[in-house]
């Protein structure tokens, strides 16, 4: 093999790549990816999360391709579908960074083995590359088929589209890895561990803007799926890859060539840069993220009284226990926070988008009067969407084995523990978030209307939080973290939540029949309470017979 | 109670020179200096939080010392990590392994990481697992294993590359009595073959029986270092347990027990 000379077979140098170790680590990583921690002999029929996640992505990709195939412009089609694929890739790498880029156990298992950093990082990068490639393939195969049938019949364009999608997603993953590496190098360790959750949020905001919203902002009419090309295409990464696809159809001009060139150069640069960042030391840092320093514990202590103000919401000892447990973990477990905080980047990004486009107008009057794309509806959707992050994340922890205590103590109602944890989330995160949203919206619409709109979204969010928790009816922090587990749940939930039908219908009703508002709020309140009772009942039944998963 | 540092052997299989580790303001290990000659089993004792595991992590390259250095078989663990790690076997306190692999797969991975011949790895794996009584579950995922079963796999992994130095952090954790007996005998046998063993444990009876030398750590500092008999003579105590209590406990143990008992029954806490 020509490249064999480049590898030092026995890794004599401290930073040499050891080919044998590389292969062994990669094979082990792939095996770990494909297995669920709860898989056992005789129970291997259970779908590993990664397979279920990919199946979800195929469905999402299909829906998206069908939604935008009405356009006759291959550039526009590719722009939207590639944006979605890149966004999903970024989101899953951000949200599951601690398991996608490095396995949480890597440092404890491999730290004392004779493996060079270079060997480790090559194995991890190869593993990440495979994972991202599989994700990109699952998300993009439907769009590639549409491209091959509609825009330039033939298998060649299908292959070109797939290649563009694979490279685009790899470059996106590399960008996230780079953001982390910069954060690690810029901040000292203590600051980094504090900054990481905010890096997540900021990354989400940047990515949402760069890949999804900016093209829409710049589009003349987003609903018609057309874009007016200008210099902006050079600033929007998905446009680069869309240009490459267009070039392959033979319809592109100089601009497509330039965009394709940008795509190739930027991807190569990003991937090269990312490949120089990951090392075993990353695993140590990621492992340490869950451990609060003495300083952080002191800070958490200072915040104790504020969090405890919500305790009176809890009616039983079990609820108080769940409340306190979740309060401590949300304060000290940075991994948990890092999985949840990115959610807040989405509505913030939409808010800024609404300000730019003038789309944040009075939601209770017909659109033709106030004009502009109704960004508030998108904001409403994302306000509901953040509850999905909480619903899926609060059950998972890398310290899930500690949940044995709920099974070994005479707990009267395990459901009460979940209820307490959920009350903490509502008290400490959802209510302040919607209060903050009210303040923001009060700049864009009359305060009374802002309050009405925020209340509407809060009731919808509480309903969604209860209903979505039905998909993860587990004790808090009692489920193991697994690669793609959260991504699969979010993917599934995104499918459920892709429509803003409920919010749109309510707004339309209130526009057509202004007095309907008197009935809408009590009805939504009843809905939220009903959803909560339904969840409570399911939890009571499910958790009463659930065995300790360890 | 330390009667001055013992004579250091310059060519010890394990040498710590002023080994220090700080975590922010907390100094976990404070200038530990030791030299453990080839073929010795050194017990490393101390109360919870004394810095034992931190020492092991520094000596095995998992933590970088804040100051000082650790040398294993002549290799500085910071400057020559790969060379040092090739000669050591480790049973970590955390019991960490990839539980979604089978023992066969896990040990095959370890064998590859040390460049062992595949047939040799398979043969050793089969032998170890059989001797430990878990050969029948060699192809099952370890997610279902008990702590003791996982510990047997970890010990097998530590022995697989035939290391000349072993770092064992609570190696008997979860093991049944028979396996513990086997392991104790095995350690003596390995030491007689010239292997050096650094043995961290809270089980003083085992340390007393197995170790040639005992080092006691309190608050990150070595407060005693010697043969078990030397420590007994020095403290005028009859057992290592009493020596340990004498050196590490600042309070009256009987009073602590009474206070606990009162607290449990609700008659007033400590």
Span A407-447, pLDDT tens digits? 877 788 889 999 999 999 999 999 999 999 999 889 888 89
Among B27, B89, B98, B108, the strongest candidate for a mutation testing the A interface, having the largest count of A CBs within 10 A, is: B98
| Candidate from A155-159, A304-308, A477-481, B162-166 with smallest mean pLDDT | A304-308
Residue B165 Cα, gap to closest chain A Cα (Å): 13
pLDDT of residue B88 exceeding 80, the answer is yes
What is the rounded average pLDDT of the residues A143-150?
87
In the DSSP assignment, the letter for residue B244 is: H
Intra-chain end-to-end CA distance of chain B, in Å: 29
Task: Give the mean pLDDT of chain A.
Answer: 76
Distance CA A520, CA A511 (A): 12
Q: Give me the residues paired with residue B42 across strands.
A: B198, B213
| Candidate from A165-179, A321-335, A499-513, B135-149 with smallest mean pLDDT | A499-513
Number of A/B CB contacts below 8 angstroms equals 94
pLDDT at residue number A103: 65
Cα B126 to Cα A373, B148, B156: the distances in Å are 68, 18, 10
What is the rounded average pLDDT of the residues A341-346?
75
**How far does Cα A159 stand from its chain's mean position?**
28
Residue A344 Cα, gap to closest chain B Cα (Å): 32
Which one, of A375, A324, A294, lies nearest residue A477 by Cα?
A324
Ranges of each domain in chain B = 14-237
Residue A294 Cα, gap to closest chain B Cα (Å): 8
Cα torsion for A270, A338, A104, B166, to the nearest 10°? 110
pLDDT of residue A151 exceeding 90, the answer is no
Q: Do A293 and B23 touch (CB under 8 A)?
A: yes
Provide the sign of the torsion angle of the four alpha carbons B144, B149, B151, B154, taken in this order: negative
- Give residue A10's pLDDT band: very low, low, confident or very high (50, 70, 90): very low
**pLDDT: which is higher, A400 or A191:** A400
pLDDT at residue number A247: 85
pLDDT at residue number A41: 41
**pLDDT: which is higher, A276 or B105:** B105
Distance CA A336, CA A329 (A): 8
pLDDT at residue number A424: 92
Please name the residue that has the structure tokens 């295409």. A233
Q: Do A109 and B100 touch (CB under 8 A)?
A: no
Which one, of A380, A397, A382, A391, lies nearest residue A532 by Cα?
A391
Angle at A283 between CA A278 and CA A287, to 5 degrees: 150
Distance CA A17, CA A11 (A): 6
Q: Do A109 and B98 touch (CB under 8 A)?
A: yes
pLDDT of residue A43 exceeding 70, the answer is no
- Give residue A49's pLDDT band: very low, low, confident or very high (50, 70, 90): low
- A524-542 pLDDT, tens digit per residue, is 899 899 999 999 999 998 8
- A181-219 pLDDT, tens digit per residue, is 666 666 555 555 556 556 656 665 565 555 555 555 445
- A348-374 pLDDT, tens digit per residue, is 777 877 777 777 777 777 765 555 567
B96 to chain A: which residues are within 8 Å by CB? 105, 108-109
- B219-256 pLDDT, tens digit per residue, is 999 998 989 888 888 877 778 888 888 787 766 777 77
3-state secondary structure of A135: helix
Q: Do B141 and A39 touch (CB under 8 A)?
A: yes
3-state secondary structure of B87: coil
Q: Do B100 and A32 touch (CB under 8 A)?
A: yes
H-type alpha helices, chain B:
52-59, 81-86, 103-113, 118-131, 147-159, 177-192, 204-210, 228-235, 240-248, 253-265
% pLDDT > 70, chain A: 71
Q: Which residues of A22-54 are buried (b: 16+ CB within 10 A; e: fewer)?
A: bebbbbbbeebbebbbbbeeeeeeeebbbebbb
Q: State which residue of chain A sits closest to B94, comparing Cα positions.
A: A108
Among A112, A280, A399, the strongest candidate for a mutation testing the B interface, having the largest count of B CBs within 10 A, is: A112
Tell whether A401 is within 8 A of chain B (Cβ): no
- Give residue A312's pLDDT band: very low, low, confident or very high (50, 70, 90): confident
pLDDT at residue number A210: 54
What is the rounded average pLDDT of the residues B67-94?
92
Query: Which one of 3.40.50.300, 3.30.70.1710, 3.30.930.10, 2.40.10.120 gives the CATH number of domain B14-237?
Result: 3.40.50.300
- Give residue A285's pLDDT band: very low, low, confident or very high (50, 70, 90): low
């Amino acid at each position: 093999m020509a490249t064999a000379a480049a590898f030092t077979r026995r890794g004599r140098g401290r930073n040499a790549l050891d080919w044998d170790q590389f292969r062994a680590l990669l094979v082990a990583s792939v095996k770990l990816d494909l297995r669920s921690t709860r898989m056992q002999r005789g129970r291997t029929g259970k779908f590993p999360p990664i397979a279920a996640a990919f199946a979800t992505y195929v469905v999402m990709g299909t829906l998206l391709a069908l939604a935008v195939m009405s356009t006759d412009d291959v550039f526009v089609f590719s722009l939207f579908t590639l944006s979605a694929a890149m966004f999903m890739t970024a989101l899953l790498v951000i949200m599951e960074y601690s398991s996608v880029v490095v396995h949480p156990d890597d440092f404890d298992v491999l730290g004392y083995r004779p493996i060079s950093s270079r060997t480790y990082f090559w194995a991890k990068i190869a593993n990440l590359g495979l994972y991202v490639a599989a994700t990109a393939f699952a998300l993009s195969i439907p769009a590639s088929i549409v491209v091959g049938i509609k825009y330039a019949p033939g298998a060649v364009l299908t292959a070109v589209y797939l290649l563009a999608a694979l490279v685009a997603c790899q470059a996106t993953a590399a960008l996230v890895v780079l953001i982390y590496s910069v954060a690690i190098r810029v901040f000292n360790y203590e600051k980094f561990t504090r900054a990481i959750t905010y890096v997540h949020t900021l990354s989400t905001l940047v990515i949402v803007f760069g890949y999804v919203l900016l093209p829409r902002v710049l589009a003349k009419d987003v609903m018609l799926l057309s874009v007016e090309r200008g210099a902006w295409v050079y600033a929007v990464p998905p446009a680069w890859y869309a240009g490459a696809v267009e070039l392959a159809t033979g319809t592109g001009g100089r601009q497509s060539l330039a965009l394709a060139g940008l795509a190739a150069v930027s991807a190569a640069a990003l991937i090269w840069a990312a490949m120089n960042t990951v090392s075993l030391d990353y695993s140590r840092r990621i492992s340490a993220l869950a451990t609060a320093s003495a300083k952080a514990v002191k800070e958490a202590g200072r915040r104790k009284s504020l969090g405890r103000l919500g305790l009176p919401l809890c009616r039983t000892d079990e609820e108080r226990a769940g409340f306190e447990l979740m309060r401590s973990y949300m304060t000290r477990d940075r991994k948990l926070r890092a999985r949840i905080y990115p959610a807040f980047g989405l509505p913030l990004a939409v808010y800024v988008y609404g300000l730019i486009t003038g789309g944040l107008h009075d939601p209770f009057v017909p659109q033709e009067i106030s004009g502009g794309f109704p960004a508030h509806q998108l904001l409403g959707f994302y306000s509901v969407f953040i509850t999905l992050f909480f619903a899926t994340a609060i059950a998972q922890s890398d310290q899930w084995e500690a949940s044995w205590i709920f099974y070994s103590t005479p707990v009267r109602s395990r459901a009460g523990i979940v209820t307490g944890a959920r009350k903490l989330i509502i008290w400490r995160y959802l209510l302040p978030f919607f209060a903050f949203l009210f303040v923001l919206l009060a700049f864009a619409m009359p305060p009374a209307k802002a309050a009405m709109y925020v209340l509407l979204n809060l009731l919808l969010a509480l309903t969604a939080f209860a209903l979505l928790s039905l998909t993860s009816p587990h004790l808090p922090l009692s489920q193991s973290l697994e690669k793609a587990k959260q991504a699969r749940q979010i993917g599934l939930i995104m499918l459920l939540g892709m429509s803003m039908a409920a919010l749109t219908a309510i707004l339309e009703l209130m526009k057509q029949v202004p007095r309907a508002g008197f009935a809408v709020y009590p009805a939504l309140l009843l809905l939220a309470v009903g959803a909560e009772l339904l969840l409570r009942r399911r939890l009571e039944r499910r958790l009463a017979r659930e065995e300790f998963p360890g | 109670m330390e009667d001055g540092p013992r004579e250091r052997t310059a060519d010890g299989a394990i040498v710590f020179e002023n080994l220090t580790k700080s975590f922010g303001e907390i100094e976990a290990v404070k200038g530990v200096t030791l030299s453990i000659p080839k073929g010795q089993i050194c017990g490393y004792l101390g109360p919870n939080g004394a810095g034992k595991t931190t020492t092991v992590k520094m000596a095995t390259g998992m933590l970088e010392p804040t100051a000082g250095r650790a040398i294993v078989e002549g290799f500085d663990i910071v400057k020559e990590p790969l060379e040092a790690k090739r000669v050591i076997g480790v049973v970590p306190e955390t019991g960490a392994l990839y539980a979604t692999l089978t023992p066969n797969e896990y040990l095959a991975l370890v064998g590859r990481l040390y460049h062992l011949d595949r047939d040799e790895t398979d043969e050793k794996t089969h032998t170890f697992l059989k001797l430990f009584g878990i050969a029948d579950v060699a192809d099952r995922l370890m997610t279902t294993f008990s702590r003791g079963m996982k510990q047997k796999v970890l010990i097998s992994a530590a022995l697989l590359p035939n290391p000349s130095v072993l770092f064992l952090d609570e190696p008997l954790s979860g093991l049944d009595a028979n396996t513990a007996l086997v392991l104790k005998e095995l350690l003596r046998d390995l030491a007689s073959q010239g292997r050096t063993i650094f043995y961290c444990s809270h089980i003083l009876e085992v340390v007393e029986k197995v170790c040639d030398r005992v080092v006691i750590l309190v608050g990150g500092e070595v407060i005693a270092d010697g043969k078990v008999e030397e420590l007994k003579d020095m403290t005028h105590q009859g057992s290592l347990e009493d020596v340990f209590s004498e050196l590490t406990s600042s309070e009256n143990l009987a009073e602590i027990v009474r206070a606990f008992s009162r607290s449990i029954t609700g008659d007033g806490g400590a």
